[in-house]
């Protein structure tokens, strides 16, 4: 088993704990390694089954969670290439909402974005025009589309590659906004898992912006010295400007 395999299996175990904090009967997450050169893997519940959520004891919602992972070419860490948290009525039907992340989206869309599946005339009116200011062909020619535009076609940006919502945020939203059934300690477990996620993101931010981290520490009174191999960066970290 490679280091990437081990990291990804630990990641899957953490996802199982997180989801079972709100739904103890949730299926276990598994890792499917899809390639070795380059290394990549998919992480999802066993048999890609949804997590069934109830409100007031009645099964009403299906939560669908999936991730795709790869290994960084710059350091020995697993990186998340994409994720999807989706909510739909139990048993099928149109999505209610989806929170998507694509580290390198193919189109000019936010790498982290929210889809809201709803209908409102005001949105339909605005989206029936050709969006000439957009860099996306589908938006430029939207006025001539054969189908009625949907709010779910809009990619609402939510925090970019490092500051995006975590699975724990999505699950907490389901508790606080929809009142889904959950064990008594669910919120505490989700809060702790969220803290771990944000600490890992903080470490990644520091690794990509060491100069900035050192500057802030010096302002706080710390003594910080660069390593012998240090080379000043001419530009900010690439992810800071990513849509």
How much is the pTM? Answer: 0.91
- 234 domain residue, yes or no: no
Q: How confident is the model at residue 1 (pLDDT cuts 50, 70, 90)?
A: low
- CA–CA–CA angle 167, 170, 176 (5° rounding): 140
Q: Assess whether pLDDT exceeds 90 at residue 123.
A: no
Summary mean pLDDT of the chain: 93
For residue 66, the 8-state DSSP code is E
pLDDT band for position 141 (cuts 50, 70, 90): confident
Asked, for residue 238, whether it belongs to a domain, the answer is no
For residue 35, give the nearest of 65, 8, 63, 62 by alpha carbon: 8
pLDDT of residue 233: 84
| 104 closest CA partner among 160, 31, 64, 166 | 160
Residue 82 included in any domain: yes
**187/169 Cα distance (integer angstroms):** 10
Taking residues 215-235, what's their average pLDDT? 93
Residue with tokens 């669908």: 64
Residue 128 counted as domain residue: no
pLDDT band at 44 (very low <50, low <70, confident <90, very high): very high
Alpha-carbon torsion angle 115, 120, 123, 129, nearest 10:
110
Determine the structural domain holding residue 72 and report its residue range. 3-103+161-224
Measured in whole angstroms, how far is the alpha carbon of residue 21 from the centre of its chain? 19
Closest among 52, 94, 85, 69 to 9, alpha carbons compared: 69
Q: What is the mean pLDDT of residues 110-138?
A: 88
Residue-wise pLDDT tens digits, 162-221 = 999 999 999 999 999 999 999 999 999 999 999 999 999 999 999 999 999 999 999 999
Q: What b/e string do you get for 50-75 counting C-beta neighbours within 10 Å, with b at 16 or more?
A: bbbbeeeeeebbbbbbebbbbbeeee
- With a pLDDT cut of 90, the percent of the chain lying above it is 73
Count of structural domains within the chain: 1
Q: Strand locations in the chain, DSSP E?
A: 29-36, 39-45, 51-55, 58-71, 78-89, 97-102, 112-116, 156-157
Tell me whether residue 34 is in a domain. Answer: yes
Answer yes or no: is 132 within a domain: no
Residue 147 lies in a domain: no
- Tell me the C-alpha distance between 31 and 35, whole Å: 12
As a whole number of angstroms, the distance between CA 12 and CA 17 comes to 9
pLDDT tier at 145, thresholds 50, 70, 90: confident
In eight-state DSSP terms, residue 119 is -
Residue 210 token pair = 């060491």
């Amino acid at each position: 088993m490679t280091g990437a395999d081990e990291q990804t299996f630990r990641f899957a175990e953490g996802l199982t704990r997180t989801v079972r904090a709100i739904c103890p009967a949730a299926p276990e997450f598994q890792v499917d390694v899809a390639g070795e050169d380059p290394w990549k893997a998919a992480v999802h519940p066993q048999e890609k089954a949804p997590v069934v959520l109830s409100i007031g004891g009645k099964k009403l919602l299906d939560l669908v969670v999936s991730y795709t992972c790869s290994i960084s070419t710059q350091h020995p860490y697993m990186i998340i290439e994409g994720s999807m948290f989706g909510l739909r009525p139990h048993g099928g039907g149109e999505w209610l909402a989806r929170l998507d992340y694509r580290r390198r989206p193919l189109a000019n869309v936010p790498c982290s974005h929210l889809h809201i599946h709803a209908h409102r005339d005001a949105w339909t009116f605005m989206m029936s025009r050709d969006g000439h200011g957009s860099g996306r062909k589908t938006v430029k020619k939207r006025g001539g589309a054969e189908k009625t535009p949907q709010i779910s076609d809009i990619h609402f940006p939510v925090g970019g590659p490092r500051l995006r919502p975590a699975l724990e945020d999505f699950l907490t939203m389901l508790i606080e906004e929809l009142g889904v059934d959950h064990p008594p300690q669910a919120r505490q477990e989700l809060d702790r898992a969220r803290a771990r996620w944000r600490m890992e993101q903080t470490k990644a931010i520091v690794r990509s912006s060491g100069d900035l981290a050192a500057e802030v520490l010096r302002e706080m009174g710390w003594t910080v010295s660069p390593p012998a191999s240090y080379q000043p960066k001419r530009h900010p970290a690439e992810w800071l400007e990513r849509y």
